[in-house]
């Protein structure tokens, strides 16, 4: 099987032989591994002044960055980050990745219209709007949903270009969700379900990401119908075995290796946590191995490579 086929089997919660699939939502340490700035960290403020040839060279280099990291660490999927954005650039970047890697990797990219936790500059105004301008917020969310569905439909006109949309709006702090269950039902769930249904109708798989303590809203998230949940954050109190018990027959689970521990813990504790995630996640299929967030700037590369090595040696389903 290709890595893409392995990833899809995990999403479908079907039995697998060999390695459990692995990938990362973002792998920022490309400078340390490849000697290249990560595509999201590049300044393309002068993009519109570049010649067609220069833009193409930049897109080719970005594609190489994504593919080389996936190849080195045996990732089954690639989360593609177009930079700069825009449909034309996004389409071309995806085309280059497919031209170079064929159908080997499962390709996904961001496509979430729902509201996330606002930043500190906007938090007070947004919170007030939830009470005083509820109808306007709902209309904004519907508009964003329509825009992203239109974007996905245009990409869908090129068969095989993209496999999935990853919905990356964060809803939760470590202690609790920003949105109460009642607010989530009113402001988030309707458009979350609408966009997931729309993507599914086009044939895309859907991964829903959020960090933090998702447990108070987990039932609503699952009811919206994503194929997978990421990142199952242990720093937010999310117990992988418990989520597997509750919803493992309905949704694939991705992640749960404690990022904070990878950054600050000792080798023994990190190794134990990696093996725990493998043991709990692999049971009963429907699991993709990953960190509980991403390989972020500041995370020691040697820690990720230690984690990846344990997965390579031990994250293997036996032959049936």
| Pair type for strands 18-19 and 316-317 | antiparallel
pTM score = 0.98
Q: What CATH number is attached to the domain comprising 15?
A: 3.20.20.210
Mean pLDDT taken over the chain: 97
Report angle CA 53, 56, 61 to the nearest 5 degrees. Answer: 130
pLDDT band at 65 (very low <50, low <70, confident <90, very high): very high
141, 187 contact by CB (below 8 A): yes
Over residues 250-294, the pLDDT tens digits come to 999 999 999 999 999 999 999 999 999 999 999 999 999 999 999
Percent of the chain with pLDDT over 90: 100
Tracing tokens 């470590």 back to the chain, one arrives at 174
pLDDT band at 60 (very low <50, low <70, confident <90, very high): very high
Q: Which of 229, 241, 248 minimizes the C-alpha distance to 290?
A: 229
Report long-range pairs for 266-272 (Cβ below 8 Å, ≥24 apart): 267/306, 270/303, 270/306, 270/307, 271/306, 271/310
- Residue 22: strand, helix, or coil: strand
Over residues 95-108, the pLDDT tens digits come to 999 999 999 999 99
Q: What is the mean pLDDT of residues 130-153?
A: 98
As for how many domains the chain has, the answer is 1
Would you state the pLDDT for residue 2? 97
C-alpha span between 189 and 221 (Å, rounded):
7
pLDDT band at 135 (very low <50, low <70, confident <90, very high): very high
Residue 39 reports pLDDT greater than 90: yes
C-alpha span between 31 and 153 (Å, rounded):
34
Which residues form the domain of 151? 3-317
Directed axis angle between helix 267-282 and helix 301-314, to 10°? Answer: 40
210's tokens: 């959020």
35's tokens: 């000697």
pLDDT band at 215 (very low <50, low <70, confident <90, very high): very high
């Amino acid at each position: 099987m290709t890595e893409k086929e392995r990833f899809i089997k995990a999403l479908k919660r079907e039995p697998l032989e060999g390695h459990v699939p692995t990938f990362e939502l973002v792998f920022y340490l490309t400078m340390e591994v490849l000697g290249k700035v990560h595509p999201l960290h590049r300044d393309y403020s002068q993009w519109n002044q570049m010649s067609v040839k220069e833009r193409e060279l930049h897109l080719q280099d970005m594609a190489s960055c994504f593919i080389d990291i996936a190849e080195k660490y045996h990732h089954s999927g690639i989360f593609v980050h177009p930079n700069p954005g825009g449909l034309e650039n996004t389409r071309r970047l995806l085309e280059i990745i497919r031209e170079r890697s064929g159908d080997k990797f499962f390709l996904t990219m961001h496509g979430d219209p729902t509201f996330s936790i606002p930043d500190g500059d906007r938090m007070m105004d947004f919170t007030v709007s939830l009470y005083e301008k509820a109808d306007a917020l709902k209309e904004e969310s519907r508009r964003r949903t329509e825009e992203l569905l239109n974007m996905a439909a245009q990409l869908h006109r090129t068969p095989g270009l993209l496999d999935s949309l990853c919905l990356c709006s964060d809803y939760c702090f470590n202690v609790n969700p920003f949105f109460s269950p009642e607010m989530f039902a009113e402001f988030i769930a309707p458009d979350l379900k609408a966009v997931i249904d729309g993507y599914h109708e086009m044939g895309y798989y859907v991964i829903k990401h959020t960090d933090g303590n998702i447990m108070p809203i987990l039932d609503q998230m699952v009811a919206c119908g994503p194929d997978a949940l990421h990142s199952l954050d242990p720093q937010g109190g999310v117990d992988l075995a418990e989520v597997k018990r509750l919803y493992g027959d309905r949704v694939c689970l991705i992640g749960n290796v404690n990022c904070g521990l990878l950054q600050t813990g000792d080798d023994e504790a990190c190794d134990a946590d990696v093996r725990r995630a493998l043991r709990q996640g692999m049971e009963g299929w429907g699991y993709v191995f990953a960190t509980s967030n991403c390989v972020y700037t500041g995370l020691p590369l040697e820690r990720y490579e230690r984690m990846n090595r344990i997965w390579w040696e031990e994250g293997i389903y036996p032959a049936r």
